[in-house]
Structure 1
């Protein structure tokens, strides 16, 4: 479905954002590995975490959904997973496939993991190699892509694994496999990545010579997962940018997850001069949360380098929109990983910026944007590339135009933010 976006005279309102997808995935998986019952509230209604639920049910885990975004998970423990009767369909969810691969490899359950057309062309080599080193037998299309066929004939071997890239999915995959081993598996991290897995599993972490060493083994007790999932910071980022760039805006976002390994975009917007107030700091389970308010702001240009990128990788598309309205040249480098998301997001951004009449240059690992506080994007039919974050970034950009624009296949926002278009309408009416 295509969506038409009219220029907004103002943006005002309070939004109840969707639940955090990354935490929702993990809450369901870890609750299944816990021996006992967990009650998870504010579980994400997005498509991806529900692919995780479908897979866990196929593995013999009873999950009740009594309503109001609540789950009751009857955990079967590490040794209670059952061989599925059919494929484990991960849908469009790379998180489901990569994290579940660690669980399947560790458990020794024979299973076949599949995905939709988009997921089936995303590389899985990064997880295949360490899992094979631990003793898993994995067959993959072209030895790289789904479907993935798993079996394990021998005991799981512990692994000493220096993380080659700052990837929370790769880190989590290896640590989850390690939970099933008698000896400790170690993941050595030199650049930070999202730490939800080690937080929610309460894993041992050692800081040593500018490295983080995270360990997992069968000795680790998988804790229950009874808590409220925080609201998604990645969803908040779209409205933080919209509120900052629009000349007549004030937007309030309660209960947002502020995990420090997720909120690089918050610091970047503060560096750019965004007028934001953070109040009511609290915790939901192991995760920090707070309320955020943003107002119209004059923005300065910014440089985002490879050291910062892992902490804001999902927010770079919408940060690019903020850069369009900053007073000067902004630069993103070290972001080649964006070419391996649901689509090549650097290429998708370049097409969006070109359609809008922006002054920019694309590079192999990023881009530069010459911003202008008075920039008004050309009305256009923006391609979403069936990528939820590209679609939402295009919608925020279209709010600033002199005339209406269209976001093609904008329904893909449901992957992470099913209520996005309703919330946009709430702010503009």
Structure 2
């Protein structure tokens, strides 16, 4: 059962040509960070285009619980009246982060160096995800954590009363871990240094600099070295959230596999640490173009035009690209099923510890719909059946994972027979307008 409501079985039927403009919501990663950094600034931060999915709304509630004033003006326009670095109050209630791994890990980092205690929980999916990758580096600051066996939620974090700055090498590519350590470093004296051997999405670094933090980034033989000077006075900002590339992936990929389609997805953030999927699709031969490239809010942006692409070929996705498209592998595997030849995806062990084990979840669902999938601990491959070659007709488990549910809804749009998802309710965590947006383009979805 979803943590946000009753299970909602949904069926995706073969679609007519998809046509029109798909205005996807704001970027989830930037929305989380806008609320959190706004709460740590002094004064009013104004945010437009905020993603109003459950994950982000849970982060907004958390910032209120820690003492910030958060105001929803409607239409994606929000204000956050911050309490300053080190100004968080101890919350009266347990902090429920719903389904959001990003939310809980960033918030833990943010409060970890203040002398307060907070308890965190989430839905069944989030409570099954390991938190040691966050709590281990936070312990270096002097923070204490007590949770369930295996470092799982519910978990109580006791913030460090006298935090010390740290130097931390991120053991696996993870923007969540990097960001949690940097946010903790804001209230530690001196310089906190984070070293990542492989670059991950850099929204935190960009936004910290925008809010006035002293932060430097240097590429060295040791890796990407990020140095943050603690205890700045963050200045409130006006933030226009670009549209989410992870959400854009679904109408883009649906257009590529649905005959006769031509879809424009405007204003998509193309931060180079996030845009790996789109370059991978082009490598496969997708008719995908970037129009009107520009910069908004310090982030590169463009309009994406995706057209039906019957000549796509399976490829070996460069493992080095994994960090820039880790959330998009599920829907990429759907596209791979409609390509010719095998698509190999390696270096993706991180998918095993997302909202679900995404390799296992996608492999099960694809096999149930007539697609051959092979898998290992940190890789998987999909044998493409070519355009119009996927039988469909199967039922897929979403495992409380929004991206799994949406990926299989896309699969049904190009398959010969309808594809059913056992529970589509988690979709609201990141893409609350997914269903009406896709049906406006020409998708045919039904609910049980």
Same structural fold, with TM-score higher than 0.5 when normalized by the shorter chain: yes
CA contact (8 A) 1:114 1:148 kept: yes
In 2, Cα distance between the equivalents of 1:153 and 1:362? 42
What does residue 208 of structure 2 align with?
201
**Of the candidates 76, 82, 105, which is equivalent to residue 112 of structure 2?**
105
Q: What is the SS of the residue equivalent to 2:340?
A: coil
Quote how far apart the aligned CAs of 1:13 are. 1.2
Alignment TM-score, normalising by the size of structure 1: 0.97
Alignment pair present for 1:256 and 2:268: yes
In 1, Cα distance between the equivalents of 2:391 and 2:186? 50
Q: What is the SS of the residue equivalent to 2:344?
A: strand
In 2, Cα distance between the equivalents of 1:175 and 1:274? 38
What does residue 237 of structure 1 align with?
249
Alignment TM-score, normalising by the size of structure 2: 0.93
Quote how far apart the aligned CAs of 1:342 are. 1.0
In 2, Cα distance between the equivalents of 1:280 and 1:2? 39
What does residue 386 of structure 1 align with?
400
Count of residue pairs the alignment pairs up? 429
In 2, Cα distance between the equivalents of 1:372 and 1:149? 49
What does residue 65 of structure 1 align with?
72
**Following superposition of structure 1 onto structure 2, how do residues 44-55 of structure 1 map, counting pairs within 5 Å?**
44-55=51-62
Q: What is the SS of the residue equivalent to 1:247?
A: coil
Quote how far apart the aligned CAs of 1:210 are. 6.0
Q: What is the SS of the residue equivalent to 2:29?
A: helix
Q: Which has the higher contact order (CA 8 A, sep 6+)?
A: 2
**Following superposition of structure 1 onto structure 2, how do residues 65-144 of structure 1 map, counting pairs within 5 Å?**
65-142=72-149, 144=151
CA contact (8 A) 1:377 1:398 kept: no
**Of the candidates 405, 409, 432, which is equivalent to residue 395 of structure 1?**
409
Q: What is the SS of the residue equivalent to 1:107?
A: coil
What does residue 265 of structure 1 align with?
277
CA contact (8 A) 1:176 1:216 kept: no
In 2, Cα distance between the equivalents of 1:22 and 1:75? 19
CA contact (8 A) 1:78 1:107 kept: no
Q: What is the SS of the residue equivalent to 2:112?
A: helix
Quote how far apart the aligned CAs of 1:244 are. 1.5
Quote how far apart the aligned CAs of 1:398 are. 0.5
1:320-375 deviation line (CA, Å, top 9, x unaligned):
01111212111111212111111111111111111111122122222111213231
Alignment pair present for 1:9 and 2:21: no
Q: What is the SS of the residue equivalent to 2:163?
A: coil
What does residue 247 of structure 1 align with?
259
**Of the candidates 433, 443, 447, which is equivalent to residue 419 of structure 1?**
433
**Of the candidates 163, 172, 180, which is equivalent to residue 173 of structure 1?**
180
Q: What is the SS of the residue equivalent to 1:181?
A: coil
What does residue 157 of structure 1 align with?
164
What does residue 350 of structure 2 align with?
337
**Following superposition of structure 1 onto structure 2, how do residues 292-331 of structure 1 map, counting pairs within 5 Å?**
292-297=304-309, 298-331=311-344
Quote how far apart the aligned CAs of 1:424 are. 1.7
Moved more, 132-141 or 399-408: 399-408
CA contact (8 A) 1:227 1:284 kept: no
What does residue 4 of structure 2 align with?
none
1:158-217 deviation line (CA, Å, top 9, x unaligned):
111011111000000000111111110100111011100000011211222262111123
CA RMSD of aligned residues (A): 1.5
* Change in CA separation of 1:85 and 1:154 when aligned onto 2, cut-off 3 Å: closer
**Of the candidates 289, 299, 310, which is equivalent to residue 277 of structure 1?**
289
Quote how far apart the aligned CAs of 1:143 are. 5.7
Quote how far apart the aligned CAs of 1:153 are. 5.2
Quote how far apart the aligned CAs of 1:401 are. 2.1
Moved more, 20-29 or 110-119: 110-119
**Of the candidates 296, 299, 309, which is equivalent to residue 287 of structure 1?**
299
